[in-house]
């Protein structure tokens, strides 16, 4: 492309994988486009979609409909839809939205510049090809002062949980070659970055099919050894594939944060089996107990679906009981919604919307209590905070995260952005903590030495 750069606005729905994909879209388009956060002045408007729940898909369709007005006022605007809904719907999206120029699937990002060029010549296009292997990745660049980044290490999933559309819209599981991953992390650290989150639908099974066999834990070890890395995280883990080797790594690798997202989905064995999750509640709780022995300060988050087909009040009570036993610090909970192509969509015994809503309300009340209790237990402690920027409410306040992922706000100079500082936690709030910076850095990790470490009630 030649001439002044045009502006691209990217609206992202869904998970961290989609956030990483949107960053990649901006990178592959960088030769001809600069990102803007003002959709009304964009030359190219991309919607990166999520199909994991019906509600997310409905939001995409609603936004797409509303953009007809913008397109009428700016006919030169190119409008594209990418991601999981694009992969799932393909031509149907184009047919349903005459103002849409481009539909590209989950593996179409590297072809985006060419697709945009062709769409700019008046072609309406669909590219939803799913090729075998890990798709090629462009070399990444980070803005000066970048503090943390997401690094995709695998794509797709082979698990076929009965409720989940991912294997159909992102394809089968493919691991990214370790050299590429380590090179990307090293580049980020050389640019001054501090925190890396490794991403994949099921990172625990990383390495299958690679020419150089490597377990996920070994990949973590290699990354942990890179100079300059302060914090390492990963998402998402499948409980069945959480190995003893990986659990042990939480007690061994200095950069690996004491924070794990381990989606349980249900506390009922009957429902877990219908979901094709491949573990029982006792197996899940045994792993949680082992993790807490290895890493007593671990903060644990999860995903839970309520109202899966056939879920009775007894099944739901088992979920509430598991939530209490596991002592989650944070959880994402949702009402089940049938997704195209999935086996659960064919199951009878649908739970009514009213019952789903009532159960979700009870579950979220419990989860909110647990999150607040976890925050309260931290009050009075001194913890390391990675300062990420100014707080949402006030430019005078700084905002950062603990290694255990809780948000902390405190007063301090802007020069601390990007720094690791010690903060005494003074107030617990439902979604965050407040604190004051301390100069004395003598009280640090690990929590294993902390006599007031939280006591968890576990079944084993």
List interacting residues with ligand SF4 (CB under 6 A): 157, 159-161, 164, 166-167, 201-202, 238
By CB neighbour count within 10 A (0-12 exposed, 13-18 middle, 19+ buried), where does 324 fall? Answer: middle
Residue 163 CB, shortest distance to ligand SF4, in Å, is: 7
Residue 56 CB, shortest distance to ligand SF4, in Å, is: 14
Contact of 198 with 210, CB cutoff 8 Å: no
Per the DSSP assignment, residues forming a β-bridge with 35 are 8
Say how many C-beta atoms besides its own lie within 10 A of residue 421's C-beta: 20
User: Can you tell me whether residue 356 is helix, strand or coil?
Assistant: helix
Residue 238 CB, shortest distance to ligand SF4, in Å, is: 5
Q: Which is nearer to ligand SF4, 266 or 391 (CB)?
A: 266
Tell me the longest C-alpha to C-alpha distance in the chain: 67
Contact of 156 with 170, CB cutoff 8 Å: yes
User: Can you tell me whether residue 415 is helix, strand or coil?
Assistant: helix
Q: Which is nearer to ligand SF4, 101 or 311 (CB)?
A: 311
Q: Which is nearer to ligand SF4, 64 or 161 (CB)?
A: 161
Q: Is 278 left (phi over 0), alpha (psi -120 to 50) or beta?
A: left
Q: Which is nearer to ligand SF4, 342 or 406 (CB)?
A: 342
Q: Which is nearer to ligand SF4, 88 or 255 (CB)?
A: 88
Residue with tokens 């490794």: 198
Residues 6+ apart with CB under 8 A from 212: 177, 178
Rg (CA), the chain: 23
Q: Which is nearer to ligand SF4, 5 or 172 (CB)?
A: 172
Residue 178 CB, shortest distance to ligand SF4, in Å, is: 22
Q: Which two tokens stand for residue 253?
A: 């690798």
Q: Which is nearer to ligand SF4, 52 or 79 (CB)?
A: 52
Residue 435 CB, shortest distance to ligand SF4, in Å, is: 35
Say how many C-beta atoms besides its own lie within 10 A of residue 442's C-beta: 7
Task: Specify the DSSP class assigned to residue 329.
Answer: S
Q: Of 245, 262, 148, 243, which Cα lies nearest the Cα of 197?
A: 148
Q: Which two tokens stand for residue 215?
A: 């377990």
Contact of 141 with 193, CB cutoff 8 Å: no
Residue 169 CB, shortest distance to ligand SF4, in Å, is: 10
Residue 164 CB, shortest distance to ligand SF4, in Å, is: 3
Q: Which is nearer to ligand SF4, 151 or 305 (CB)?
A: 305
Residue 166 CB, shortest distance to ligand SF4, in Å, is: 4
């Amino acid at each position: 492309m030649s001439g002044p750069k045009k502006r691209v606005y990217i609206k992202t729905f869904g998970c961290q994988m989609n956030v990483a994909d949107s960053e990649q879209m901006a990178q592959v388009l960088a030769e001809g486009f600069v990102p803007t956060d003002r959709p009304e002045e964009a030359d190219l408007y991309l919607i990166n979609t999520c199909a994991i729940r019906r509600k997310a898909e409905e939001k995409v369709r609603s936004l797409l409909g509303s953009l007809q007005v913008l397109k009428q006022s700016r006919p030169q605007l190119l409008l594209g839809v990418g991601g999981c809904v694009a992969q799932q719907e393909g031509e149907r999206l184009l047919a349903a939205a005459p103002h849409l120029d481009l539909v590209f699937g989950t593996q179409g990002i590297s072809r985006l510049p060419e697709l945009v060029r062709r769409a700019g010549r008046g072609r309406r296009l669909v590219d939803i090809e799913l090729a075998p292997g890990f798709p090629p990745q462009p070399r990444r660049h980070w803005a000066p002062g970048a503090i943390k980044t997401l690094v995709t290490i695998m794509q797709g999933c082979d698990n076929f949980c009965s409720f989940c559309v991912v294997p159909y819209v992102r394809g089968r599981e493919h691991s990214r070659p370790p050299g590429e991953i380590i090179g990307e992390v090293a580049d980020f650290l050389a640019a001054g970055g501090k925190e890396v989150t490794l991403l994949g639908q099921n990172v625990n099974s990383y390495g299958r099919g690679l020419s150089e066999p490597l377990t996920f834990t070994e990949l973590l070890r290699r990354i942990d050894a890179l100079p300059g890395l302060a914090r390492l995280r990963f998402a998402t883990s499948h409980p069945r594939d959480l190995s003893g080797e990986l659990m042990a790594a939480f007690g061994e690798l200095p950069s690996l944060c004491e924070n794990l997202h381990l989606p349980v989905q249900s506390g009922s064995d009957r429902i877990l089996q219908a979901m094709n999750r491949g573990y029982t509640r006792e197996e899940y709780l045994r792993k949680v107990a082992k993790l807490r022995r290895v890493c007593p300060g671990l903060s644990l988050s999860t995903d839970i679906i309520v109202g899966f087909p056939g879920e009775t009040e007894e099944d739901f009570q088992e979920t509430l009981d598991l939530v209490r036993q596991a002592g989650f610090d944070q959880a994402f909970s949702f009402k089940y919604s049938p997704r195209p192509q999935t086996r659960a969509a064919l199951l009878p015994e649908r739970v009514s919307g009213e019952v789903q809503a009532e159960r979700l309300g009870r579950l979220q009340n419990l989860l909110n209590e647990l999150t607040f209790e976890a925050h309260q237990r931290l009050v009075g402690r001194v913890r390391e905070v990675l300062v990420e920027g100014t707080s949402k409410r006030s430019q005078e306040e700084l905002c950062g995260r603990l290694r255990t992922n809780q948000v902390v706000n405190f007063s301090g100079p802007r020069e601390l952005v990007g720094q690791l500082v010690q903060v005494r936690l003074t107030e617990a709030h439902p979604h965050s903590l407040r604190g004051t910076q301390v100069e004395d850095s003598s009280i640090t990790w690990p929590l294993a030495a902390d006599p007031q470490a939280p006591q968890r009630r576990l079944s084993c």
